[in-house]
Structure 1
Amino acid sequence: MNVTLAELGRVHFIGIGGAGMSGIARILLGRGVPVSGSDAKDSAGLAELRALGGQVYTGHAAENLGDAQTVVISTAIRTSNPELLAATEAGLRILHRSEALAAAMAEDTVVAVAGTHGKTTTTSMITVLLREAGLDPSFAIGATVPALGVNAASGSGGIFIAEADESDGSFLNYQPQIAVLTNAEPDHLDHYGTGEAVMQAFTDFIGLLPADGLLVACADDAGSAALAAKAAESGTRVRSYGRAPGAEVRLVRDRLEFEGQSFELRLNVPGEYNALNAAAAFAVAVELGVAAEIALAGLAKFTGAARRFELKGEIAGVRVFDDYAHHPTELRAALTAARTVAGDHRVHVLFQPHLFSRTREFAAEFAQALELADTAIVLDIFPAREDPIAGVSSELITAQTPKAELASSSEQGVTQVVSQAGAGDIILTIGAGDVTRLGADILAALELRSKELRSSELRASEQSGSEG
């Protein structure tokens, strides 16, 4: 449904506390649209929206709708939700969150970042780069970015940077001027059914570009490269990036080559995948008129996004990181980065599979990726929106690699991973579910172990002194 910003009227968000929903609400408030919303429980995010002028309720009830004219939902909202039932009965306009975001950015030059992996980081890099270049873009990102302080904001620069999520096909509601495709491979088969359907969705996304639009595509990824070649044949302007020969924005060791010039690429985030993400961000920036040197200086200021190999703390020489990876390719990339950061020390993983369907489809690939770690503890599957599937559990993964052990509980997983880590090692909590909260528990357990060790050493020293 194509709706203009002026047509929205008062907008009510069901589940306004979610990362994507709260970001869109923040943008609409910044653009003068009256916003209300509700969520199951209160949070700091809801308090921030109230401070911005939103009318936000804790708990779901039909009366929360008030005089709303438009209701925004995400895929996670059940049809039995009392507010959704009331909105349907009243005949209110009901939009998926992607449709609300499309309305918010309809008057801007839109850069939509799609791909199976790397969307959040690439969108974040582009946004930080453009802000460092003196532009004031609007943005909607799937995670909070420390350098930005938020995951979404309404800017005045006439450019909108949006993370385009393919998980439910809703990214086809956008109208980008520049489309970025970081990679393309099968995922979200619970929605699409087949890998072919996934690739068709990416094809359709590219097809949203206008005649004068630009596709920025990774030449190193087979899926992205194939889709870009197909798009070029149909007349779409394509700018490729990567290490592959012929890439227009080409990575050569730690340098970036573009239009006959070679530049040093300085990044504060590890991993080959981040070098590729940076090349994509650079390609977008120069298309928007940013000088190459200024774009590279902006990239050097990027320090990461929340839950993307995010350092949570260090105790007694053990560094604890957290990552959102929930696909085998992402898991492999995160562990490769961890091995680079750990150097000669060990990498310990606490992994939480996400979705029964994804675990069923990719159990062997998850097991293979976990072999990059020195030790791996696997938690129960985080179900998210799914009901259990008979015969599908985390044991499908642990049974296929001797590197992985199954934890009976989150508490046991924390205990196990801490017991295996020594000074200089890395512990990585990883997954798209609530495993992220265990970073604090791991740090607390490391602190307790450190205190007990110091106390033991002190007692031994005192005993040795008394015997002397």
Structure 2
Amino acid sequence: MKILKRNIKNRIHFVGIGGIGMSGIAEVLFSQGFKIQGSDLLNNNNTKRLKKLGIKVFLGHSSKNLKGVNILVISSAINKNNPELKFAKKKKISVYKRSDMLAALMKYNESIAVSGSHGKTTTTSLISSVLESANFDPTTIIGGIVNQYKSTTRIGKSNWMVVEADESDGSLINLFPKIAVLTNINKEHMDFYKSYSNLKKYFLNFANNTPFDGVTIFCSDNSDLKKILSGCKKRNKISYGLNTGSDIRATNILINEKGSFFDINIKKTNLLKKEKIKKIKLNLLGRHNIQNSLAAVTVAKILNINTYKIKKAFQKFKGVKRRFTLVSNFRGIKIIDDYAHHPEEIKATLELARNLKPNKVIVVFQPHRYSRFKNLYYDFKKVLKNCDRLYVANVYSAGEKKIKNISKEKFVFEMNKFRQNFAKPLNNINSLPEIILNEGNKGDIVIFVGAGDISKWVNDLPDKLKKFS
């Protein structure tokens, strides 16, 4: 990866350096010789990793942390009253958004950016793994912990870069990748976009950001995304998916506990040769993960990476943390941790669970953000009625104010209209071991879904269940 020449002597301070997106960019800049420091309200695995690298991390936000700082980096989550931001503005310290720093890094490299409502992290990770397998040695910045890297970041030595482009705050339109990948689109982040039509405009803008010799790749299984991309001005467009109209299509699909197995048909286009690839094995379960892998195959074929190296990368790929992660197999009851927090993601997670043919699927659901729970309320009901037993926790607010008439009690009451006593409120997380013991039997799957602190609950369970062994 090319060293950035400009401003190499500046000291850059990241406000909220422990965040998934912020920590990755900080690590990459540090690897390039920049003087990096940051602050966060909490110590977490990301701050611990950065400290081990030699990056100074302050606990808490204070103007005292900014001694000698020339550049301040913030994310959209930083409040305008943050003391470090206020001090920087007062002292005329340059303030940049996280997306500005990511765009600056991409400018100096051959970049691949992945965006979409769902599947970004897994798709970005798969693309990075394929490029790594083919000795492209990419630098990668991902919005999740990749198991084989044990990090959100991979530092490479080439000028190739693979990044996850966050769509939550509209910043994806500031990125200008050589290859743009769009996985899907759903009604999400309406607190920022205000309307679905506005979200669609941003996605089209991102798709049009590739250069003349660049490529826009998209999943044609998503009907809305397919319609949006029909308005893309770029001549180099490639579709992938499971439907017959896709340029790169998966066929003969088999999914079991050992993985996902399929063949691939590639149509002849201005960028692709006609080809059939047999016997692909992916160490991830589910049709949605097959779609994610097809995006990686599409990128690989554009870059003339041979099939052997694609297969090798897929077989070695160990997945992403909190994506249908098996936490424990207690008395034959599989306990799963999953990041799903949107109805479409929960739907895919439940479909994956059913593929494993369990006796029962029990879901512990923590709604994430009052605004999302309200906007997608009926979609959550429609999806969650398909499990066998449902426990609903309090809404994880993520800093939002409580919305009247949006509560776990109301949701449970309405879910029980589908089946009597099917849903129950989770009133105390300390009751989770008893719930597993009383509700679960050998052959069942218990899935914890949500983007809040529910992951801590499920990862604490193995120790709590030991006393019952």
TM-score greater than 0.5 by the shorter chain: yes
Cα deviation code 1:258-301 (max 9, x no counterpart)? 22323222011111100110011110112122112311221122
Pairing 1:83-162 to 2, within 5 Å after superposition: 83-162=84-163
- Note the 1:391-410 alignment, pairs <5 A: 391-402=405-416, 403-410=422-429
Once residues 109 and 355 of structure 1 are traced to their aligned partners in structure 2, the CA distance between those partners, rounded to angstroms, is 36
Matched with 2:338 is 323
The aligned counterpart of 2:419 is: none
Runs of 4+ in 1 over 6 A off after TM superposition: none
Match of 1:278 among 293, 298, 304: 293
Give the deviation of 1:417 after TM superposition: 4.3
- Which residue of structure 2 lines up, in the alignment, with residue 6 of structure 1? 6
Q: Which amino acid aligns with 1:184?
A: I
**Paired residue for 1:244?**
243
Contact 2:106–2:177 (Cα < 8 Å) also in 1: no
- Measure the CA separation in 2 of the matches of 1:227 and 1:171: 16
- Trace 1:143-292 onto structure 2 (pairs within 5 A): 143-231=144-232, 234-253=233-252, 254-258=262-266, 259-292=274-307
Q: Secondary structure at the match of 1:51?
A: helix
Q: Which amino acid is 1:250 matched to?
A: R
Q: Percent identity?
A: 34
Distance 2:124 2:161 in 1: 10
Structure 1 segment 358-397 matched on structure 2, within 5 A = 358-397=372-411
Matching of residue 31 in structure 1 with residue 32 in structure 2: yes
Give how far 1:380 is off.
0.7
Number of equivalenced pairs: 444
RMSD: 1.6
**Distance in 2 separating the partners of 1:211 and 1:385:** 42
Once the two structures are superposed, the pairs formed by residues 12-23 of structure 1 within 5 Å of their partners are 12-23=13-24
1:409-436 superposed Cα distances (whole Å, 9 cap, x missing partner): 3233554344211122111111111100
Residue 353 of structure 2 is matched in structure 1 by: 338
Q: Gapped runs of 5+ residues in structure 2?
A: 253-261, 267-273, 417-421
Q: TM-score when scaled to structure 2?
A: 0.91
Q: Is this contact kept in 1: 2:263–2:276, CA < 8 A? A: no
Distance 2:164 2:176 in 1: 13
Distance in 2, matches of 1:394 and 1:230, equals 41
Larger relative strand fraction: 2
Question: What SS does the aligned partner of 1:71 have?
Answer: strand
Q: Residues 28 and 316 of structure 1: is their aligned pair in 2 closer, same or farther, counting only changes over 3 Å?
A: same
Instruction: Say if 1:316 and 1:446, in contact at 8 Å, map to a contact too.
Output: no
2:361 is the counterpart of 1:353: no
The secondary structure found in structure 2 opposite 1:116 is coil
- Amino acid in the other structure paired with 2:391: I
Query: In the alignment, is residue 432 of structure 1 matched against residue 451 of structure 2?
Result: yes
Q: Secondary structure at the match of 2:373?
A: helix
Matched-pair contact (CA < 8 Å) for 1:72–1:96: yes
Q: For 1:167, what is the secondary structure of its paired residue? A: coil
Change (3 A) 1:236 1:389: farther
Describe the superposition over 1:121-178 as per-residue Cα deviations: whole angstroms up to 9, x where unpaired. 1011111121122221011111111112211133112111111111110111211111
Instruction: Kindly provide the amino acid, as one letter, of the partner of residue 220 in structure 2.
Output: A
1:182-222 C-alpha deviation (Å, 9 max, x unpaired):
10121001111111111111111112111111111111111
Q: Give the aligned residue type for 2:453.
A: D
Whether contact under 8 Å (2:277, 2:307) holds in the other structure is: no
Structure 1 length-normalised TM = 0.91
Question: Which residue number corresponds to residue 58 of structure 2?
Answer: 57
Taking the aligned partners of 2:5 and 2:251, their CA distance within structure 1 comes to: 44
Aligned residues of 2:216 and 2:234 also touching (Cα < 8 A): no
Change (3 A) 1:47 1:444: closer
The question of whether the paired residues in 2 share the 8 Å contact of 1:320 and 1:427 is answered with yes
Which residue of the other structure, out of 425, 429, 441, is the alignment partner of 1:422?
441
User: What do the CA deviations read for 1:290-339 (whole angstroms, capped 9, x no partner)?
Assistant: 11231122112212101111111222212211111111000000111112
Greater helix fraction, Structure 1 or Structure 2: 1
What is the aligned partner in structure 2 of residue 411 from structure 1?
430
